[in-house]
Structure formats: C-alpha cells, structure tokens
C-alpha cells in the first residue's frame, strides 16, 4: 500500500536490515524531506547517502516501480531532481526526462507496522487505538490536544469567514447567522442558518425598539406564520389562536413593506425534538436577544471572561411563549430561559470562534489568546464522544480538551485517517 510506504519513510519506521538500492549500493537515510501535498515529487529536500555520497534532492514513492512510467514522470521535468525512487516492488528501472537512471530502493514495511495498521482499519469499535491510550505520555497527549484544539478553531474560523462573505462583508450579520445556526443545537442547525440568511437585519433594525414586530418578522421569515403550509392539526390550532393571527397580520404588512419572502416551513425538523428546542421557542429567544441590543460584535470583544459572555447571551422567550410551545397549544407557564448547558454550548460554538476569527481578521493576537483562554476556563462538554475517550483513560477537564477530542473523532477517527494522527503514530510504531 503506497500510503503506508509514505508513512514509513516519513516517520523513519524502517526495517532493521540495511537499505540498499536495486543494484546493490548502500543507502543511509539522513533526512526524509518535507512531505509535498501538491503536484510534484512526494518529498522535497531529502538527504540520503548512496555508497557514502550525500545526495540532497527530492524523493518519489510508488507501490511499484512501473508506476513511475504509468504516471508519466519519465517525461516530466519536475522529477529531474529526484535523487531516490522508493518502491514497494521493483519491476523495472526508471529514468528522468534527460535519460538519467534514478537509483531505486525497495522499502519493506516492518511486519508489526502492517499488522497494527490492519487492526486500526478493521476495528469496528471506536477508538480503534484504545489499547494504547492509557500508555501515552502526558507530553504526547497535551501537544496533540493543543494542535487539535487550534485545528478545530481554525475550521470554525473558515466557516465564519464564508458567512462574512455571504453577508456582504458584514461581521455583525455573520455573528447573527453563526449564533442562529448554533441555536439549532445540531438538529436544526442548517435550517436556522438558512433562516438567518432570510432575515433582513437592515430592515429589522428600523423596528428594533418593537419586540412584537421583531418577532413577527422572525417568525414570518421562518415560514411559521404560513397556515396553509402547516399540517392540518397544526393549522386548525393556529387558526383559532389570536396571537398567531396578530403576528400574521403584522408580518404581511412588513413583508409587503420590505418585499420579504419566507423560507420553506418544511425545512424545520420536529421529530424526536424536545419542546424546549422547538423552532418557535428558539426564535422567540433570539427575538428578545436581538431586541435587547446586547449581543453585538463590539460588546463581545469587550468581554473579559466567560461570565461576561454568558450575560450577553442570556435570554428568555416573549410573554406568549411562556405558556406555549407551538401556536394554539397552551402549556404550563415557564420563562424558558436558556439553560446553563445551552449557554455553555453557545459560548463554545459561537462566541469563542467569533472572537478567534475576528482576532485573526484584525491581526489582534489579544482576541485570539482570549478565545483560547475562555476554552481553557470552561468545563469540558459531556457527550457520547467525550465519554468514549474518558472510558479509554484520557483525562478530559476543559472545554478546550473536549473540543480537541471532538475534532479528533470527526476528522480522524471517523475517516480512518490514522496515518495523520499522533495517537495513530504511537499505535503503529508499537512493537508488541
């Protein structure tokens, strides 16, 4: 497997016996070079000694020597600086575009590396590397967790920058869209992001002092005031509800005024959703939060600690929704404030990534460091991914740790990308 050959070469997991070229010359690996992820040779600026002579140049790796010709390297000038061709199987000599014969070495993957790799790829339970986790050094774990934490924040930063671009360069609007997406708490995340892009904040700003009008626009743009699109049971209950009719009338007036078009009501998911997470409740909370004019980018950048952030995010529903979960169905009175766990998730997934992204955008190292400090000051999340890693023996204390392990599970374990994982490296090199 060519990918495993790359890995063995890069990490020097070489067999015990001496490396020799296919024509019997001794080979000593000094430096495997810099891995190239773009077009061209696989490793740049490698250093190898062939028969005592030091060569500095590029290295190309193939499963079979004939792959060199199959890929057309013999006529590609970018491969003229290759000083060594590393192969798993020698089935013929190779030359560069000038006809020079390139030294070749057959690299054998150590048996224990192959066996360990097969176990990682074939294991059904996660994580497949669990047997080695308790033996990892603290330095290995902490350095990998720090890298994963930054990697996850960088991915979220890329998402935010894309929203800024979609919002015409407005960071305030991108903050609203990011916040709305995370109000979906996973299940309705995509629908909430679509809804937020349907909300014309420039128009809503003219009515920001009127909570009823804000809620009318918010609910209307979500398609939740279109009785015709509702299931018959919901339609009948809503039709007899005075507040629903008032909101609908107000929305029709504002929709005509600002030429608004609602999103498709069917984008919302209700199946197996706790009533506390119904779109009606979350949108009402967002309406009150927007009306309060607290959660803005400037206010966020002025927060000195997590408590400051959560005071900005704290909100509850409007009066009607204290006794309802959907239109026309009364319930026991409940302020329906954001819970402590919900505030923590919004802080982790909205406020902290926005600080980090805006800090990078403005080259403000203070904001980036503050975002990382906030993560380290919060307790770790409690979900099935974190419990899985804890069961393996990993200590998970802070939100920074839990975010790192979510990144590890989603981007490495789920993709079986063990060759890029530092824990995978420790597993592969382990010789039982």
What digits encode the pLDDT tens for the residues 380-422? 999 999 999 999 889 999 999 999 999 999 999 999 899 999 9
Helices 111-122, 422-429: crossing angle, 10 deg rounding: 130
CB 178 within 8 A of CB 163: yes
> What confidence tier does 431 reach under pLDDT thresholds 50, 70, 90?
low
Q: Are strands 53-64 and 82-89 parallel, antiparallel or unpaired?
A: parallel
Instruction: For residues 202 and 200, give the distance between their C-alpha atoms in angstroms, rounded to a whole number.
Output: 6
Instruction: For residues 112 and 109, give the distance between their C-alpha atoms in angstroms, rounded to a whole number.
Output: 8
Report how far apart, in Å, the C-alpha atoms of 381 and of each of 134, 147, 179, 215, 414 are: 21, 18, 18, 32, 20
DSSP string, 359-376: HHHTT-HHHHHHHHHHHH
> What confidence tier does 432 reach under pLDDT thresholds 50, 70, 90?
low
pLDDT at 231: 60
78-124 per-position pLDDT tens digit: 999 999 999 999 999 999 999 999 999 999 888 889 899 998 888 88
The structure tokens listed for 247 are 């909101």
The structure tokens listed for 209 are 């002092």
Half-sphere exposure of 28 (CA within 13 A, CB side): 6
Instruction: For residues 30 and 47, give the distance between their C-alpha atoms in angstroms, rounded to a whole number.
Output: 5
pTM attached to this predicted model: 0.84
pLDDT at 396: 93
Place of tokens 């626009």: 217
């Amino acid at each position: 497997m060519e990918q495993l050959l790359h890995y063995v070469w890069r990490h020097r997991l070489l067999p015990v016996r001496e490396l020799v070229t296919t024509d019997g010359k001794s080979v000593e690996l000094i430096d495997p070079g810099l891995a190239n992820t773009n077009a061209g040779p696989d490793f740049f600026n490698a250093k190898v000694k062939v028969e005592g002579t030091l060569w500095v140049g590029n290295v190309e790796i193939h499963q079979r020597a004939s792959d060199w010709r199959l890929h057309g390297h013999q006529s590609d000038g970018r491969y003229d600086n290759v000083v060594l061709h590393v192969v798993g199987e020698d089935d013929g000599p190779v030359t560069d575009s000038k006809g020079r014969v390139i030294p070749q070495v057959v690299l054998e993957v150590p048996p224990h590396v192959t066996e360990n790799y097969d176990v990682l790829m074939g294991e059904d339970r996660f994580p497949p590397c669990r047997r080695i986790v308790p033996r990892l050094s603290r330095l290995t774990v902490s350095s990998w967790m720090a890298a994963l934490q930054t990697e996850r924040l960088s991915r979220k930063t890329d998402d935010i920058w894309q929203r800024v671009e979609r919002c015409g360069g407005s960071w305030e609007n991108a903050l609203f869209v990011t916040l709305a997406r995370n109000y979906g708490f996973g299940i309705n995340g995509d629908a909430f992001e679509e809804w937020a892009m349907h909300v014309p904040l420039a128009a809503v700003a003219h009515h920001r002092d009127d909570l009823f009008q804000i809620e009318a626009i918010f609910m209307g743009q979500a398609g939740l005031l279109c009785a015709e699109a509702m299931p018959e049971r919901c339609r009948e209950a809503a039709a007899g509800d005075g507040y629903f009719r008032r909101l609908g009338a107000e929305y029709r007036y504002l929709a005509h005024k600002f030429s608004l078009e609602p999103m498709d009501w069917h984008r919302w998911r209700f199946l197996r959703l706790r009533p506390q997470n119904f779109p009606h409740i979350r949108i009402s909370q967002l309406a009150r939060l927007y009306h309060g004019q607290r959660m803005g980018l400037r206010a966020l950048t002025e927060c000195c600690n997590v408590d400051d952030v959560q005071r900005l995010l704290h909100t509850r529903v409007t009066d009607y929704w204290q006794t309802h979960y959907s239109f026309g169905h009364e319930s026991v009175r409940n302020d329906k404030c954001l819970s402590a766990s919900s505030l923590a998730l919004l802080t982790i997934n909205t406020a902290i990534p926005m600080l980090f992204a805006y800090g990078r955008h403005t080259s403000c190292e203070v904001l980036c460091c503050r975002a990382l400090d906030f993560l380290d000051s919060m307790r770790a999340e409690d979900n099935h991914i974190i419990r899985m890693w804890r069961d393996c023996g990993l200590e998970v204390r802070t939100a920074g740790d839990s975010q790192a392990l979510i990144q590890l599970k989603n981007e490495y374990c789920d993709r079986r990308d063990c060759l890029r994982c530092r824990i995978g490296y420790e597993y592969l090199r382990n010789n039982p």
